[in-house]
Amino acid sequence: MTLIDALLQGILMGLLFALVALGLNIIWGVMDIVNFAHGEFLMIGMYTTYWTSLLLDIDPLLTLPVAALVGIMLGVASYYGLIRYLLRGPAIAQLFGTFGLMLFLRYLAQFLFGIDYRIIQKGILIGKSLSIGPFIFDWTKLSAGILSLLAFLFVYWFLNRTKTGKALKATSINKEAASYMGIKTDKMNAIAWAIGGGTVGIAGGLLANFYYVYPTVGLLFCMIAFACVALGGFGSIKGVFFAGLLVGILEMVFPVFGSLVNSDFLGSHFKFTVVYLTYFIIVVFRPQGLFGWKN
Amino acid sequence: MEKLKDALDFRDFSRAEQIGLIIFSIFLFIFPWLGSGSFVKAVMIQFLLFSLFGMGWNTIGGYGGQVELGKAQYVGIGAYTVALTMVWWKIPFWVSMPMGVLLAVGYSFMIGYPLFRLKGHYFAIATICTSLVLQDIFANWKLVGAAKGIELPIHDHPDFLYMQFKSDTYYYYFIMVLFYVALFYMNWFRRSKLGYQLRMIKDDEDAAESLGIDIRWCKIKAYTIASAFVAVGGGFMAVYNLYIDPASVMDLDLSIKIALMAMLGGAGSLWGPIIGAAFLVPLDRFLGSWLGGHKGLIGLDFMIYSMLIMVVSAYQPRGIWGIIEQFRRKGS
């Protein structure tokens, strides 16, 4: 029973992870840049939801558009303010540049809001749970899972059905060929960053409903997102979805197995260690990921 | 003997650099007698330590061009070996430090072999992953003190075998000796066969491979050398701080700092890591103590720090040394 329970909880978390990883994957696919600040974008999304819901006294779920907007602006601002300049340099400069952005955003949050752990107290979903048969779901997690899925499907639709989305895909497949067809790479890059920031902003808003908000929350989710992207395949949208689910299930189911054996090394402290190890094994033995086509 | 001569040979540098090195060496040597406070002395020790780390990182990250962001795990291995063997079996520092280095070398071989199937971003993230896994293990392993860490036993009398001194001056001279060993080694390394091979790999892997260079083996060798350097520094950290925990010797921030200093100073040049450390360590410490004291200014020091990183990586990826060289070329 606990195993099935963990599985269901894992799927809900996995949907959220998939949304977090989606933006990272699009940026990675389009520009071949790793955004280390991705987790910090999530953190900003969380703080946005926290503060808007607290200061305007509205339900956290209603703040999602604000979180998305802040995410989009953050993405676009990072692209025009920093990433464009980094593109001229070598790969090492790109890595460190986004790393600098990550540190900057993290300590900016620490400077503005302090190092306290905050959690949203008020909201129509908070503290309520839904029981279906023997299973109990927190409404916050359930809504996070469902809304993540919807957001993910929307982006998927956008990429496959709209003209801009197709242009974005074309750029990620072959930048030069796409630019010969009249697709402006610069604009596509900015759009990729906007989508990346927007989706992760929404994910942050959803996460803030049931997770503590603090300045260093980003690193963990950034690493999870890296693992999802590696697992799913770099640049593959379908892949990152299933990878997110897999990682979510893994991190929920592993502690259940761990609790059966009494050991220092199988407890729930290690649920994310398993994720890191999975990343390592996947990239070493199958660098293109489970669904990937870019090598 | 020939190698030693090479290591001490700085003739291919410009006159200005040679004079700079001499002045810098004299300054380092007389520094403890300048009557500075204990805080400044601690900053200097930190500076030498991070120069040592940075020079190690420079082998793989600078000359080899592989972005390595997991050096903290080797700091941890070095530090934990020294601390644990001292607590459990009272093994002197002079035995346990080489043991730590050997362990780090062995571990880096083990990890480096699969790791160097990867390139670029994938490699960088994988190094972070391995480092985080090791940190998680040490933070939960009760035998090694888990997240609480280990305190080293403090001796009543100064003890050379266990590297316990009353005054920071002794630590200062010890780390200075290590610094010079590293500097001379790096001076030899940059003109060694491996050094040239690595630079070739950095420029063009395919071309290097077509000339018969075993790319993966070269990278593993450089990675191992880097790990050994860093493990020595880790051992020093254990005896100097007398307390270690996973958060202080294995944290990702430490890995980042190591790589960052080398890159900010100028990766792939002999002086780069030293310049980077000379720039960032005092900035970090003085800003930290100056701003940290003011309540409400937490994090401002790191904000300045990270803005510097962004500006340097956007405008001069070759770091401070790159800027200096640019000016020199314009001048001549």
pLDDT tens-digit series, residues A3-27: 888 888 889 889 999 999 998 988 8
Cβ within 8 Å, pair B300-A283: no
| Domain annotation covers residue B158 | yes
| Domain annotation covers residue A247 | no
Above 80 in pLDDT, residue B156?
no
| Domain annotation covers residue A292 | no
| Domain annotation covers residue A50 | yes
pLDDT tens-digit series, residues B6-59: 777 777 888 888 888 889 888 888 888 887 778 888 889 999 999 999 999 999
Total domains in chain A come to 1
At residue A295, the pLDDT reads 43
| Domain annotation covers residue B275 | no
Chain A CB contacts of B137 below 8 Å: 265, 273
| Domain annotation covers residue A239 | no
pLDDT tens-digit series, residues B207-250: 888 888 888 899 999 999 999 999 999 999 888 888 888 888 88
| Domain annotation covers residue A76 | yes
Interface of B with A in 50-69 (CB under 8 A): 61, 65, 67, 69
**If you average pLDDT over residues A37-58, what whole number do you get?**
90
pLDDT tens-digit series, residues B237-296: 888 888 888 888 888 888 888 888 888 888 888 888 898 888 888 887 877 777 665 655
| Domain annotation covers residue A294 | no
| Domain annotation covers residue B76 | yes
| Domain annotation covers residue B167 | yes
Domain extent for B143: 2-252
| Domain annotation covers residue B295 | no
Total domains in chain B come to 1
| Domain annotation covers residue A245 | no
| Domain annotation covers residue B321 | no
Mutating which of B298, B310, B315 best tests the A interface, going by the most A Cβ atoms within 10 A? B310
Domain extent for A174: 2-222
Interface of B with A in 119-138 (CB under 8 A): 120-122, 124-126, 128-130, 132-133, 136-137
Global pTM value: 0.85
C-alpha A223 chain-centroid distance: 10
How distant is the Cα of A72 from the closest Cα of chain B, in angstroms? 21
| Domain annotation covers residue B273 | no
Chain A CB contacts of B69 below 8 Å: 95
| Domain annotation covers residue B262 | no
| Domain annotation covers residue A35 | yes
In this complex, is the C-beta atom of B315 within 8 Å of any C-beta atom belonging to chain A?
Answer: yes
